[in-house]
Amino acid sequence: MMYEHFDNAVKGIKEKLNNDPEGINARKKYVLELSRLGRKLYSKDETIAWCGVTAPFDLLSAMGVTSCFVEFVGAMLASTQTAGYFFEEAEDSGFATDSCAYHRAVMGAVLKNAMPKPDFIIGTSSPCTAGLAIVENFAHQYKKDFFVLNVPQNYTKDAIKFLAAQVEEMTLFVSDHTQRPLSMEKLGMALENFNRSSQLLKDIYDLAKTKPSPVDNRLLRDFGVVMPLLMGTKAGVDICQAFKDELNHRIATGWHHVSKEKTRLMWIQNRIQHPFPMDEMLDDLGAKIVVDELNNVTWEPMDPDNPFESIAKRMISIPFSMDTSERIRLMQNLAQDYQIDGAINPCHWGCRQGTGARGLISKGMQDINVPVLNLEIDCVDSRNLSKGQIETRVEAFMEMLS
């Protein structure tokens, strides 16, 4: 079923792109590559690793492994409105309804044999212990070997050395399971692609700072958290170039001046995954999400001569791995760089990390005179959605900002 879903998506998007070869279609190209990744995950012809969110996907790609973080599938199930069936399976098996719905969805899919069987599993302590627990559960369900990367929250020489040693050990773990040694030439190419993508991301995010911004409420949604799945590849470079070209095109044609930008917003953490008219609601109110918290380049360029140390530095430097005070400092910098008027924080039901920091985040943003709207909403499970209440609160927040 899932292979057919991704295969149909690939065919449909390719047909649309072929019918408009000169079109500006960055988002379509991005979704096409993600659909190709999904098809590979479900093809039964690949070496598969299910991973935590912050795993080094460029390194795994260089080793011939098709890998993905499990929350990607949870979001996909929510967006296609098929998650409910899997929630019920997980809950009937004892998973609490107040746990993270990303994880409940994929656990239900595992129990229903709707997830491809991995060759091995790589967990990461960042961003959350719940994510680590769910991939450990995967390992038990599939009876597969499980490797854990413990990601420190402090960016120090000792922390980098500690994580770099784990990353190097992980390559031996992967080689043992694939019977293929790490090719330093392929890893060097992957890191070069990662660096090229990173520079293009910086260019994209700089263009998004333009006032009025050439982005809309959909163009870069969930971009920063999902792109690492592709950034060690040539396709990742091409996608980033397509987004940069599209933003330049919008500026050159004056699109951004007619886009009705009255209010500039930041979106904190991840977007709402199930069908919910947030983008349309904000469009109607003249509000534009010009920056997502995770759409940010916080790492140094990769050094091919010191690959494991470079990967460790990158893993520690992203917001998911930081302590809350450092994460808030980055948000404050983004708010000032993008000249935002307010921020929306969907306090995802069951996310101890995100919801637990809501008070500190609101206080930190208040310190620079940026109001925050905290929305109590499950970003994946729509069964308890109070649509009218959310709409009323968003409208009131926009009215306050204006």
258 pLDDT band, cuts 50/70/90, is confident
243 pLDDT band, cuts 50/70/90, is very high
What are the structure tokens assigned to 108, written together?
């239900």
User: Between residues 114 and 331, which one has the greater pLDDT?
Assistant: 331
* Amino acid 22: pLDDT: 80
Compute CA distances 110 → 86, 116, 324, whole Å: 9, 8, 32
Its CATH class, for the domain covering 185-401, is alpha beta
Compute CA distances 72 → 37, 38, 164, 228, 236, whole Å: 11, 10, 26, 12, 17
What strand order describes the sheet that includes 120-124? 66-69, 48-51, 120-124, 146-149
Query: Could you say which architecture CATH assigns to the domain 2-178?
Result: 3-Layer(aba) Sandwich (3.40)
Q: Name beta bridge partners: 374.
A: 345
Residue ranges covered by each domain of the chain: 2-178, 185-401
Do domains 2-178 and 185-401 share one topology? The answer is yes
How many percent of the chain have pLDDT more than 70? Answer: 100
Segment 141-160, tens digit of pLDDT: 999 999 999 999 999 999 99
CB 135 within 8 A of CB 48: no
Strands (E), 48-119: 48-51, 66-69
- CA dist., res. 298 & res. 317, Å (int): 6
Residue 355 has pLDDT above 80, yes or no: no
CB 331 within 8 A of CB 293: yes
Q: pTM of the entire structure?
A: 0.95
CB 36 within 8 A of CB 10: yes
* Amino acid 77: pLDDT: 92
* Amino acid 281: pLDDT: 95
How many percent of the chain have pLDDT more than 90? Answer: 84
Segment 119-130 mean pLDDT: 93
State the chain's mean pLDDT as an integer.
94
Residues with Cβ within 8 Å of residue 167, at least 6 apart in sequence = 56, 59, 149, 308, 311, 312, 315
Number of C-beta neighbours around residue 259 at 10 A:
16
Segment 12-55, tens digit of pLDDT: 999 999 998 888 899 999 999 999 999 999 988 899 999 999 99
Residue 1 has pLDDT above 80, yes or no: no
68 pLDDT band, cuts 50/70/90, is very high
Segment 264-290, tens digit of pLDDT: 999 998 899 999 999 999 999 999 999
Alpha carbon of residue 196 to chain centroid: 19
- CA dist., res. 256 & res. 262, Å (int): 12
Helices and strands: H and E segment counts in the chain: 17, 8
Using CB atoms within 10 Å of the CB of residue 81, give its burial: 0 to 12 exposed, 13 to 18 middle, 19+ buried: exposed
Segment 227-240, tens digit of pLDDT: 999 999 999 999 99
Segment 52-76 mean pLDDT: 96
User: Between residues 260 and 7, which one has the greater pLDDT?
Assistant: 7
Segment 302-316, tens digit of pLDDT: 999 999 999 999 999
Q: Which of 59-63, 75-79, 244-248 has the lowest mean pLDDT?
A: 75-79
